Amino acid sequence: MHKRPHACAKIGHLLLLLTKSRPQTSLLRSISLPDLALLIGAALLVVPTMFQVGQFNWTTEQGGHGPIVLATGVWLLWRELKTSPAERKPGNFWVGAISVGVLLAIYAVSRITGILEIEALAMYGALIMGAYMLFGGALIRSIWFPLIYLALTLPPPDSVVAAVTQPIKIAISQWAVSLLHTLGYPIGSSGVTIQIAQYELLVAAACAGLNSIISLGAICLFYGYLRHRSNVAAFAIIALSVIPIAVFSNFMRVIILILITYYLGESAAQGFLHDFAGLTMFAVALATVFVIDSLFTKLFKLDTVGAPK
C-alpha cells in the first residue's frame, strides 16, 4: 500500500527533470532585454537611411525593384530563420565590436557628406556584424542567401553601374542595328545615335532597360534559390545566367522600340508602348529563365527539391 505513492513520486520527479532539461531552441525566446535594446537601436539606424533609399532610389527605373525585393527578402529571411538548425552562440566580441565601430564611422561620415550609396552599404554591414555578435557565425552562414538578396534593395554606386552597363548598351545597339539592316530595314548607327528612316533614337534611351539589370538579377536569383535550394550546381547555373538573360531581354526590348518607332512614329515609342516594351523585356527574361532551367534540369537531371516546408 505504501509503494504506489512512492512510484508516482518517482515518475513525477522524472517528468520534472525532463521538462527542465528540454532545450529552448527558439530564436525569439533566446533574445534578452539587452538584445532587444540593441535591436531597437538598429531600427533607429535603419529607418532614416531606408527612407532616403525609398525616396531617391526606389522611385527610379534602376531601383524600382526595391520594395518587392524587401518584402520577399524579409519573408525569405524569416522562413530560413525558422528552419535553420544553427543554435545561437554569440560571435567573437572584439571582431564584431571593431567591425561595427568602423562601419558606424563610415556610416556617420557618409551621412554627413550625403553619399547615400556608401551610407546604405555601411548601415547594412553594421547590421550584419551586429547580428553576428548576437547570434554567431553559424546562424549568419545559414541565412547567407537572404542577406545577399536583401542587399539588392540598396542603391549601387552610379559610377559603377555606368562603367558596367555603357559598353553593354553600345554592343546591344550595334547588334540590333546589324540584325534589322540584314532584314532590309533602312537603319544605321553613328556614335550614340540610331537612325531608322527619318527617325533618330539615342542609344542611352533605347537601352535604358539595361538599368533594370539588378531587377532582373533579383528575380532570377529568387527563383533559382526557391527551386534549387538544395542543389548548388543547379542554383549556380541560374545565377550565372543572370547577365546573359538581362542582355538578351534588353536586346529584344531595343528591337521592339526601334520597330515601334519605324512603324508608329517617335511619339508612340516614347509613350505607352515604351512601357509595354519594358514589360515585354521582363516577360522575355522570365521565359528565358524557365527555358534554361527546364533544359538543364532535363539534360543533367538536376534535383529541384527546394527548402523543407
Annotated catalytic residue, options 111, 227, 229, 253: 253
pLDDT tens for each residue of the chain, 309 residues long: 444 445 444 444 433 443 444 444 455 555 667 667 777 878 888 999 999 999 988 887 678 788 989 999 999 999 998 888 888 888 899 999 999 999 999 999 999 999 999 999 999 999 999 889 888 999 999 999 999 999 999 988 878 877 877 888 888 888 999 999 999 999 998 767 888 888 888 776 666 666 677 788 888 889 889 888 888 888 888 888 888 888 888 888 888 888 988 888 877 767 766 667 667 777 888 888 888 888 877 776 655 544 444
**Helix extents (H) in the chain:** 3-21, 33-56, 66-83, 93-113, 116-135, 137-142, 144-151, 158-182, 203-206, 213-227, 232-240, 242-264, 266-270, 272-300
Other CB atoms within 10 Å distance of the CB of residue 245: 23
Catalytic status, residue 207: yes
199-202 and 193-196 strand pairing: antiparallel
Residue 219 corresponds to which cell in the numbers above? 528575380
Total-model pTM = 0.75
Using an 8 Å Cβ cutoff, are 246 and 97 in contact? no
In terms of phi and psi (left: phi > 0; alpha: psi -120 to 50; beta: otherwise), the region of 184 is: left
The whole-angstrom separation of Cα 100 and Cα 93 is 10
The whole-angstrom separation of Cα 31 and Cα 36 is 7
Annotated catalytic residue, options 111, 207, 227, 229: 207
Catalytic status, residue 88: no
Domain ranges of the chain: 33-155, 159-300
